[in-house]
Structure 1
Amino acid sequence: MNAPEPILKAIEVADVDICLFARQYSLIDHAFAVETVFPAVREKGVSFVMGSSLNAGFISGSPRFNYGADNYKIPADVIAKREQLRQVAGRHGVDLRTAALQFSAAADVASALVVGAGSARQIVEDYTSMQTKTPADFWAELKAEGLIHAQASTPRT
């Protein structure tokens, strides 16, 4: 689903085991998921295949944000947040793309991660990103700076 509301409705009226959770859980946008969606699916025993960890490539430098007809109209606050995330990542020697993939996969309700790849090189990069150790201090600084929700799961180091 590209919006959380249909997922919340589906788990209310059906016996759902797993859903695709696209666009709503990334380093850029995740507070509603942490505060509202995740508690609801935990209660129902639902897990997610996490999609769009990179916000359609935006986190890794694409000139678009998410998917849709207006995805090239990127809000200024989204651009500013990506820059703040880049600055913290730079201080810790962390690749922001790697951090974004690891962040989405770290959610306790995540069963799998879907990452697009346009080449064999990108598949290798995705694999490498998931094998890379990201310092605990990096995640702690993101939380201290308010760049990620205080209750968001982060990768174990």
Structure 2
Amino acid sequence: MRDEGIIRAWGIEVNTPLPILKVMEDADLDVCLRSRQYSLIDHASAVNELFPAVRKKGISLVIGSSLNAGFISGSPRYNYGKKNYVIPAEVIAKRGKLQAVADRYGVDLRTAALQFSAAADVGVALIVGARSGKQIREDWNSLQAKMPPEFWQELKAQGLIEKEAAVPSLPE
């Protein structure tokens, strides 16, 4: 249909990288919605497996859930699903470590999370949920805020984000 001009692009929406990698083996995708697992908390598989594969194929990603369903900004749930209020201890611990670094640099962790997800070079759009106009303004302001490069450097030095992960203030 794309070759006939009926559609301009097509793709899939999934929560994890494996389905995208599997579909890429058999189909010529243009864009995929990556609903979660590209956040400050959970991004290693995306950086190390998915992003290199989509770069090679020229596929763009729409990135969603950079706040892990609000968990990064303090919500008592993590991601979406039936058991989203059962949060693994290591996830809670990682949020605590991320928050400690953010506090040292005077950085809002929610702002850092949005900017981190938006920095991916394969990303063409970022989906951020909002319940009000106020939250939309906050999202906009977060994406415009200046972040100290040392903040990102420390996250990488502590192994809280992958060394290969793109960040707003540092070259890849």
Q: What SS class does the counterpart of residue 48 from structure 1 fall into?
A: strand
Aligned length: 157
> Any conservation in 1 of the 2:152–2:169 contact (CA below 8 Å)?
no
| Deviation digits for residues 9-59 of structure 1 (CA, Å, limit 9, x no counterpart) | 122211111100111100000111111111111110011100000000000
Bigger radius of gyration: 2
TM-score, length-scaled by structure 2: 0.90
Q: What do you get for the CA RMSD once the two structures are aligned?
A: 0.8
Identity of aligned residues (%): 67
- The structure carrying a bigger helix percent of its residues is 1
SS in 2 for 1:71: coil
Give secondary structure in 1 for the equivalent of 2:125: strand
Give the secondary structure class of the aligned counterpart of 2:33: strand
- Give 1:103's aligned residue: 116
TM-score (norm 1): 0.98
- Please name the residue that 2:99 is paired with: 86
Which letter does structure 2 place at the counterpart of 1:20? L
> Which residue is equivalent to 2:130?
117
> 30, 49, 55: which one pairs with 1:36?
49
- 1:47-62 matches, cutoff 5 A: 47-62=60-75
Q: CA deviation at 1:129?
A: 0.3
Question: 1:128 — aligned with what?
Answer: 141
What SS class does the counterpart of residue 49 from structure 1 fall into? strand
Gaps of 5+ in 1: none
Matching residue of 2:10 = none
Q: Corresponding residue for 2:84?
A: 71
**Helix, strand or coil for the counterpart of 1:100?**
helix
Name 1:140's counterpart in structure 2. Answer: 153
- Residues 42-77 of structure 1 show CA distances to partners (whole Å, capped at 9, x for unaligned) of 110011100000000000000000000000000000
| Greater relative CO (CA pairs within 8 A, separation 6+) | 1
Give SS of 1:74's match. Answer: coil
- List 4+ stretches of structure 1 deviating above 2 A: none
